[in-house]
A and B are shown apart, each in its own frame.
Chain A
Amino acid sequence: MAFFKLLRSSPLSARIGLAIVLINIAAAILAPVISPYGETEIVGDVWVSPSPDHYLGTDHLGRDLFTRLVYGARNTIAIAFVTTVLSFMVGALCGFFAATLGGWTDLSLSRGVDIIMAFPTLIFALMVLSVVGTSITSLIIVIALLDSTRVFRLSRAVAMDIEIMEFVEAARLRGEGTWWLMRHEILPNAMPPLVAEFGLRFCFVFLFIAALSFLGLGIQPPTADWGSMVMENAGAITFGIFTPLVPAGAIAFLTVGVNLIVDWFLHLASGLED
């Protein structure tokens, strides 16, 4: 109920963002129902213009672009979501541990993270993925690990601010263990910035997957995914065909939607006036 109340007071931009995200999620879930053809089915000529048979035309192999787009939403969003959740679980947990325990734990975790962050993310991902191979699982684990370093930094900083509060000291004096401190004293107070960060990271993850797919190390064909769809159809641009812009537009659309919601969360968390 509190959620609906909050929703009613939300600004227009947040509602638009929410609508965009819901449309995307609906498309992802209902992919087999709403798509007219199969995900990998070749149904016509290459790069056919939009028509009642093919709402958005066809791609470079003659597959229905609309179908690919809907299935692509499924893969892209699901993978991005799982990756972000994973990176937050790892990153926030380590960050909170570092902040509450301090000393050697903090030092070793922080320096470890520094080392990972010293490599450019894309290069690091390319390196690891070319060694372990590009299965979806390894993709998720590698990106989650890379992302968790940034989550670690944020959650450690936030937790340190909370950790010096007297209510944490009071709990410590009571004799509470580290787990309780993290779960009941720190986490609830760290939620607003972490939630906002979650939205941003989510965007970055599917942009990152798109970048990897574009380089050929992301999601492997024939699985549909927005990033690889841009890559596969990139050549069409030279012939003045708009096909690669469709998946690129979908990425932009979802990014904007998620960011509109994130802005609203940030606004709520900061408590600033309009």
Chain B
Amino acid sequence: MQNPHILVIKQLVIEGQSGSQWTPIVKGIDLTLKKGEVLGLIGESGAGKSTLGLAAMGYTQQGCRISSGSIQFNGMELVGALKSDLRRLRGNRIAYVAQSAAASFNPAHRLIKQYAEAPIQHGLMGFAEAEQKAVDIYRQLLLPDPENIGYRYPHQVSGGQLQRAMVAMAMACQPDIIVFDEPTTALDVTTQIEVLAAIKQITREYNTAAIYITHDLAVVAQLADRIMVLRHGNLVEESDAREMLADPKEDYTRQLLSVRTLRDGKALSIFDRDVILEVENASASYNGSDMVLEEIDLSIKRGRTIALVGESGSGKSTLARVITGLLPPSQGRIIFDGQELPGKLADRDRETLRRMQMIYQMPDTALNPRQRISKIIGRPISFYADINGREKDVRIKELLDMVELPATYMDRYPSELSGGEKQRICIARALAAEPDLIICDEVTSALDQLVAEGVLQLLQRLQAELGVSYLFITHDLATVKAIADEIIVMLNGRIVDAGSARCGLRNHCPIGQGAASTLIIGVGLNGRGKNKLPHLACLLTRLRRCVNGPIQ
């Protein structure tokens, strides 16, 4: 009788190096995986899920080592195995799909060439055969125009398509196990659904076992047969997916499961009529002819939050660029606190710039890696208020305190902080200018669930204390529900719907509702919904098509 388990990990301890010390990242975890089984690994960042996922391939990242335990793949011990043996396995029997397809593809080669690399390297097939197989797999993954899409370069396909092309690449050798490391985190809601459906279908079809790493329970609920919850390198809970969602045993799991708290209907203040920013009939384009934004009207009231929702490419971030002056509008006006602003950034005075701040999606790229926190936060203080020396230090400490970080962080570099902490630094930098309006561009989408919730709560608290307004750009409806007073839905550069967060959207725009239903199905988490995914993807595609048509 053959061992039903394709992968058996026993008492695995992985240590990471910090300075000259080795600290455990994964602390003695057991894991088994049957053929064709999908195992979900969830936990917040730093839980050790990626490290564990990579270890399934007998690999550790630089600065990590496997200090004890065993990893057996199909009866073969991977700990201490020869590098050449491991190389034969990787990409062939065990494949890996990384979080960011955009960063993982070589931009200089066509997709199909990169697809064919692994099977040719492992001597499984020639290029012509690989080409044919690629078309098959592209078709199964519901990629458009499967015969020709492989001959495009990575930049010529969309993010969701690229992620599916990467799944196809992982499937190229028909491996026994695929490790998915958050493959949908960087995608917007509707694209996520498509990619998930594709992954689900293809793993089913080839009876491939999968380890699916994510911090998003909604995702894991759709895919996994079994779920393991990790925290700080320890196993918190492990059980059948349905069982866990219906009846979580541990508090921590329950906490992960709990849907974000809704914003309680805030009493309208006396400021209600007090408009801080108005955009009137604004249009903009990057090249002078193709309009990316068309006739946008919106107004933001003081101390309130407007959520700007839409798929990627709908013009949300472009609108932010127009408001901040990075992209002057080709027509229309921007009125800030009763005063019309010049379109160009260079023509705006320092005081205006101070009152409008921005927080970015990726705290990694939004903070200069070679500046200490004290300089990052301190610069706006000395730049706008001309405060220096000890007084500035006091102010920096106040701001760090405001974003719930210890004053000792002053001397650190951004790389010494976690993702959530970095985003808090970005918030502190924005607050240092004492702004009236903060534009938040997808500020939580790069963070995992619990950390994101913490950041949202912080933003809410600051709004209550300081009366600052937010323009919240997001594609995540859960965020909208948690924080917004009003919602604006954008599609193809136009505002297609608007309404208050509590009373719903005025036009009942299908895209808004489509996204909303995605969310509900995603969060609803019942086992029965699992098989509906491909169906849902079709539904969304149809919805989008009908929206692209006659809505205006």
Contact = CB atoms under 8 A, between A and B. Distances in A.
B370 interface: yes
Contacts of B433: 174
Contact of A174 (B62, B353, B365): B353
Nearest to A168: B368
A166 B325 CA distance: 15
Nearest to A175: B353
26 contacts: A165-B365, A166-B362, A166-B366, A167-B365, A167-B366, A169-B326, A170-B366, A170-B429, A171-B379, A172-B326, A172-B345, A173-B324, A173-B326, A173-B345, A173-B353, A174-B353, A174-B380, A174-B383, A174-B384, A175-B348, A175-B350, A176-B383, A188-B370, A188-B371, A191-B370, A273-B62
Given A173-B345, A175-B353, A166 B370 contact: no
A173 B325 CA distance: 8
A167 B367 contact: yes
Given A173-B358, A174-B433, A175-B353, A166 B380 contact: no
B369 interface: yes
Nearest to B357: A173
Interface residues of B, number: 26
A185 B379 CA distance: 12
Interface in A39-75: none
B49 to A, nearest CB: 22
Interface string B431-456: 00100000000000000000000000
Contacts of A220: none
Interface string A183-194: 011001101000
Contacts of A191: 370
Contacts of A175: 348, 350, 353-354, 383
B383 A189 contact: no
A175 B368 CA distance: 16
Nearest to A169: B326
Interface in A135-193: 165-167, 169-176, 184-185, 188-189, 191
B73 interface: no
B365 A166 contact: yes
The main secondary structure of chain A at its interface with chain B is helix
Interface string B365-407: 1111111000000011001100000000000000000000000
B212 interface: no
Contacts of A166: 360, 362, 365-366
Contacts of B345: 172-173
Interface in B112-141: none
B288 to A, nearest CB: 15
Given A176-B383, A185-B368, A189-B368, A170 B360 contact: yes
Interface of A: 165-167, 169-176, 184-185, 188-189, 191, 273
B38 to A, nearest CB: 32
A170 B369 contact: no
A1 to B, nearest CB: 14
A223 to B, nearest CB: 42
Contacts of B365: 165-167
Nearest to A176: B383
A3 to B, nearest CB: 17
Given A172-B345, A176-B383, A167 B326 contact: no
Given A173-B345, A176-B383, A273-B62, A167 B353 contact: no
A189 B365 CA distance: 12
Contacts of A165: 365-366
B358 A170 contact: yes
A149 to B, nearest CB: 26
B423 to A, nearest CB: 12
Interface of B: 62, 324-326, 345, 348, 350, 353-354, 357-358, 360, 362, 365-371, 379-380, 383-384, 429, 433
Contact of A189 (B324, B362, B369, B380): B369
Contacts of A169: 326
Given A165-B365, A170-B366, A173-B325, 14 more contacts: A165-B366, A167-B367, A167-B368, A170-B358, A171-B379, A172-B326, A174-B380, A174-B384, A175-B350, A175-B354, A184-B371, A185-B368, A188-B370, A273-B62
Most chain A beta-carbon contacts within 10 A, residue among B324, B358, B367, B368: B368
A193 to B, nearest CB: 13
Contacts of B350: 175
Contacts of A188: 368, 370-371
Contacts of B62: 273
Contacts of A184: 368, 371
A62 to B, nearest CB: 56
A189 B414 CA distance: 13
A222 to B, nearest CB: 48
A69 to B, nearest CB: 41
A270 to B, nearest CB: 12
Contacts of B371: 184, 188
A167 B430 CA distance: 12
B419 to A, nearest CB: 15
Give the most central of B354, B370, B384: most A CB within 10 Å: B370
A167 B426 CA distance: 10
A171 to B, nearest CB: 8
A191 B348 CA distance: 32
Nearest to B430: A170
Contacts of A167: 365-368
Which 8 residue pairs of A and B lie closest in terms of their CB atoms, listed nearest first? Answer: A188-B370, A166-B366, A175-B353, A167-B368, A166-B360, A166-B365, A165-B365, A175-B350
Contacts of A172: 326, 345
Contacts of B357: 173
Nearest to B325: A173
Contacts of B380: 174
> Max chain A CB contacts within 10 Å: which of B324, B365, B384, B433?
B365
Nearest to B380: A174
A191 B368 CA distance: 13
Nearest to A172: B345
A273 B65 CA distance: 14
Contacts of B348: 175
A27 B384 CA distance: 52
A166 B353 CA distance: 16
A172 B380 CA distance: 12
A174 B324 contact: no
A196 B446 CA distance: 33
Contacts of B326: 169, 172-173
